[in-house]
């Protein structure tokens, strides 16, 4: 898709903090993260919705692979996933969490999707390198 920011990242027209790439998928740090290590996993080919991606199971197995790398890279207690966002290109948000779930109530809790944080460019690159080194 011509105006899709994620398609432009795939083409190399826009830089990204890449953490994983193969012939089908690309994972990179979200530039408006909710937590350190907040990663987006996209198919390289443009699909509007996650459920439109062929081989849905492989897509989620790739997310699991990234999750395992996050668990090795960071002291994660759990990982959140969500599949909605402002960019109309299928993407899975993968958020490594290092805090306890507040009061055990996940549904409707701000603990599921915390507010955005600011991370400077050098720390973003450092996080990307750590993840890259731990994702197989």
- What are the residue boundaries of the structural domains of the chain, listed by start? 5-98+114-134
Task: Find out whether 47 and 53 touch, Cβ atoms under 8 Å.
Answer: yes
Catalytic, 91? Answer yes
Task: Find out whether 21 and 32 touch, Cβ atoms under 8 Å.
Answer: no
Radius of gyration of the chain from its Cα atoms, rounded to whole angstroms: 14
Mean pLDDT of the region 2-26:
96
* Statement: residue 28 has pLDDT above 90: yes
- Average pLDDT over the chain reads 90
Q: Which of 2-6, 7-11, 46-50, 102-106 has the lowest mean pLDDT?
A: 102-106
pLDDT score recorded for residue 79? 92
Q: Exactly one of 38, 46, 89, 91 is catalytic; which is it?
A: 91
Fold of 5-98+114-134: HIT family, subunit A (3.30.428)
pLDDT over 90, % of the chain: 78
């Amino acid at each position: 898709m011509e105006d899709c920011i994620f398609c432009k990242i795939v083409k190399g027209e826009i830089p990204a903090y890449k953490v994983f790439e193969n012939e089908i998928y690309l994972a990179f740090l979200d530039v408006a993260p909710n937590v350190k290590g907040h990663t987006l996993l996209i198919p390289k080919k443009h699909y509007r919705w996650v459920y439109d991606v062929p081989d849905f199971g492989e897509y989620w197995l790739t997310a699991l692979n990234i999750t395992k790398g996050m668990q090795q890279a960071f002291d994660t207690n759990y990982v959140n996933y969500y599949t909605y966002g402002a960019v109309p290109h299928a993407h899975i948000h993968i958020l490594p969490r290092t805090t306890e779930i507040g009061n055990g109530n996940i549904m409707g809790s701000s603990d599921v999707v915390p507010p955005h944080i600011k991370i400077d460019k050098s720390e973003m690159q450092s996080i990307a390198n750590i993840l890259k080194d731990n994702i197989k």
